[in-house]
Structure 1
Amino acid sequence: MSERFRQAGVKDAERLHEVIYEAYSLIRELGLHWPAANADVTQIRDNIEQNECYVLEADDKIVATITLSKGDEVKAVTEFPFIKWFAVHPGEQGKGYGDKLLTWVENAIIRDKVGAAAVTLGTAEKHPWLLPMYQRRGYESIRAFDPGNGDGVMHLLRKVVDSAAFARSREAAGEVGAS
């Protein structure tokens, strides 16, 4: 079996739509207001063009995707990059693809390419397994809030991907000893 990480192009929009739509079925069932949950092919294409969308292919078929946002979703709260639209096709779940893609993006993209000390993402407390999954991966909640849209408590999570650079950034911000 061959696996390959790469940045998505607009030619991938239809397959990404299938992966994301199928993967986000629980999000829709929970009534969460996440843009990716109901995105159509045009919105998927816009996401690819406006952000950095990455995929993991297994045997030349996209099985997982994640987006590094180029927008301003959390700029007022954190200076670190924000990832979103993380999905593994349900038929491919349980094979480690999500773990591999997220680890690759955290290291090869966030730490090595972008040069950031940490990465952020958001998730809902009412989702039955996402928050604990991210916490097991080393993410910590840095802000909990209720957006008032019926989603309940949301968490902005952060994971340090370069400890030395993170310590330097905290020192520069006057937060010596802060994590």
Structure 2
Amino acid sequence: MSEIFRQAGLEDAERLREVIHEAYALIRELKLHWPAANAGLAQIRDNIAQNECYVLEVNGTIVATITLSKTDQITKETGLPFVKWFAVHPSEQGKGYGDKLLTWMEQSVIRDKLGAPAVTLGTAEKHPWLLPMYKRRGYESIRTVDPGNGDGIMHLLRKVVNPALFAHSRQS
């Protein structure tokens, strides 16, 4: 089995639209106002062009994706990278691909490439399994907000990926 982690290109937009659309079905059912949940091909292409969109490809097929945002307010506020649009195609869920891609992102991109001490992401409290999943992975809630749009309580989560650098950054 061949597994490749790589940055997505515009030629991947069609498959990414399929992966994200299928993976975010529950987000639409919960009526969460997440841009990725209803993203069309143009938004997918914009995401690839404006951010760092990564994929896990298994035997030549993209099975999972995650985006390192380059344009969000959270990075400006926290000074930490923010990841979004994390999705695993439903036919590939339960095989560990999401765990592999998120771990690769945390270590290879956030810690090693960017040299950042931690990473952030956001999720909704009303989603039945995302918040507990991220907490099991070592993420902690550092801020909650109700955006007033029907999403309910949203959590900004942080995971330390370089403890020594994180401790040093807190002393400065």
Same fold (TM over 0.5): yes
- Letter matched to residue 53 of structure 1: C
Cα offsets for 1:71-122 (capped at 9, x unmatched) = 1331353110000000000000000000000000000000000110000000
In structure 1, the partner of 2:169 is 169
In structure 2, the partner of 1:136 is 136
In structure 2, the partner of 1:16 is 16
- TM-score normalised by L of structure 1: 0.95
In 1, the alpha carbon distance for the partners of 2:5 and 2:76 equals: 31
In structure 2, the partner of 1:106 is 106
Structure 1 gap ranges (5+):
173-179
Tell me which stretches of 4 or more aligned residues in structure 1 moved more than 2 Å.
none
Q: The residue matched to 1:111 in structure 2 has which SS? A: helix
Confirm or deny that 1:75 pairs with 2:75.
Answer: yes
- Letter matched to residue 52 of structure 2: E
Q: Percent identity, aligned pairs only?
A: 76
Written as runs of structure 1 = structure 2, the 5 A alignment for 1:107-122 is: 107-122=107-122
Q: The residue matched to 2:78 in structure 1 has which SS? A: coil
Cα offsets for 1:134-162 (capped at 9, x unmatched) = 00000000001100100000000000000
Cα offsets for 1:28-78 (capped at 9, x unmatched) = 000000000000011000000000000000000000000000013313531
1:163 CA displacement: 0.2
In structure 2, the partner of 1:56 is 56
In structure 2, the partner of 1:158 is 158
In 2, the alpha carbon distance for the partners of 1:146 and 1:17 equals: 28
Structure 2 gap ranges (5+):
none
Superposition CA RMSD, Å: 0.7
- TM-score normalised by L of structure 2: 0.99
Q: The residue matched to 1:102 in structure 2 has which SS? A: helix
Matched residue pairs, number?
Answer: 172
In 1, the alpha carbon distance for the partners of 2:64 and 2:51 equals: 16
1:3 CA displacement: 0.5
